[in-house]
């Protein structure tokens, strides 16, 4: 993929966020990485979506050095870069403050698997990071946020491509995928699952999570060598 295609895909993914109702004002961003060159394209900080164009996107390397672009990159850039460095399968990352997913993050609860919609996309609960300590928020805050996500996945031996989402405690959701379209897709699905789970728990506070056999069946219908959902390429 050329860098121009990466620009366009990342722009389109960012513009999809308001269309899907995932952001308010400028509360979100999408980035993508070209693994061949190690270059990352990300939305500029605080740029209104109605005026966002490809020329506004910023290109950085994995060390955070700006390669091209005149705008300041997203304030969440260091979090994105931390995930790209540690999870080589990831091709794109989406961050929002979407309402229902952020409710779970602010409540300090992981998102349980309560039904097959969740199981179709996330092979287990969407995990919640620990709260950041004062020394982590006072210096390199966004970098420390990324490190907390990586720590969570590594300590719990989670496959980031099987559970392509996380809730950052007191903050909000990050999702990712092989490309920008998939990263946004996971953000949309996460928001819908968070909304459904919230209401299901209101209706039945003692609701148990989905049975492991049903979770496994639904996840593997869409993923892996035995997947049979949809059409063959």
Whether 74 is in a domain gets the answer yes
Q: How confident is the model at residue 233 (pLDDT cuts 50, 70, 90)?
A: confident
**Residue 209: which domain range?**
3-222
Whether 228 is in a domain gets the answer no
The percentage of residues in the chain with a pLDDT greater than 90, rounded to a whole number, is 94
Q: DSSP letter for 88, please.
A: T
pTM score, whole prediction? 0.97
Which residues belong to the active site? 120, 229
Whether 229 is in a domain gets the answer no
Whether 231 is in a domain gets the answer no
Digit-coded pLDDT (tens) for 119-167: 999 999 999 999 999 999 999 999 999 999 999 999 999 999 999 999 9
Report the CATH number at residue 27. 3.40.225.10
- The sign one gets for the Cα dihedral 72, 74, 78, 83 is negative
> Which residue in 142, 143, 189, 144 sits closest to 165, CA to CA?
189
What was the pLDDT predicted at 71? 96
Q: How far is 33 from 84, CA to CA, in rounded Å?
A: 8
Digit-coded pLDDT (tens) for 15-67: 999 999 999 999 999 999 999 999 999 999 999 999 999 889 999 999 999 99
Count of domains observed in the chain: 1
> Which residue in 191, 194, 192, 123 sits closest to 161, CA to CA?
123
């Amino acid at each position: 993929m050329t860098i121009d295609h990466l620009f366009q895909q990342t722009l389109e993914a960012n513009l999809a966020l308001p269309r899907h109702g995932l952001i308010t004002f400028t509360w979100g961003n999408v980035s993508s990485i070209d693994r061949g060159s190690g270059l990352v394209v990300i939305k500029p900080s605080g740029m209104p979506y109605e005026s966002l164009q490809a020329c506004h996107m910023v290109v950085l390397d994995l060390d955070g050095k700006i390669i091209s672009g005149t705008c300041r990159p997203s304030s969440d850039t260091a979090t994105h870069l931390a995930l790209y460095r540690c999870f080589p399968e990831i091709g794109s990352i989406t961050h929002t403050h979407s309402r229902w997913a952020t409710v779970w993050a602010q409540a300090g609860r992981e998102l349980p698997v309560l039904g097959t919609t969740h199981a179709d996309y996330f092979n287990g609960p969407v995990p919640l990071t620990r709260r950041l300590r004062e020394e982590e928020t006072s210096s390199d805050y966004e970098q420390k946020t990324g490190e907390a996500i990586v720590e969570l996945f590594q300590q719990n031996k989670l496959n980031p491509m099987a559970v392509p989402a996380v809730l950052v405690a007191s903050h909000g959701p990050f999702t990712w995928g092989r490309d920008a379209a998939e990263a946004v897709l996971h953000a949309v699905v996460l928001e819908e699952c968070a909304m459904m789970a919230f209401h299901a728990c209101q209706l039945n506070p003692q609701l148990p999570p989905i049975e492991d056999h049903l979770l496994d069946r639904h996840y593997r219908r869409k993923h892996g060598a035995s997947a049979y959902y949809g059409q063959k390429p």
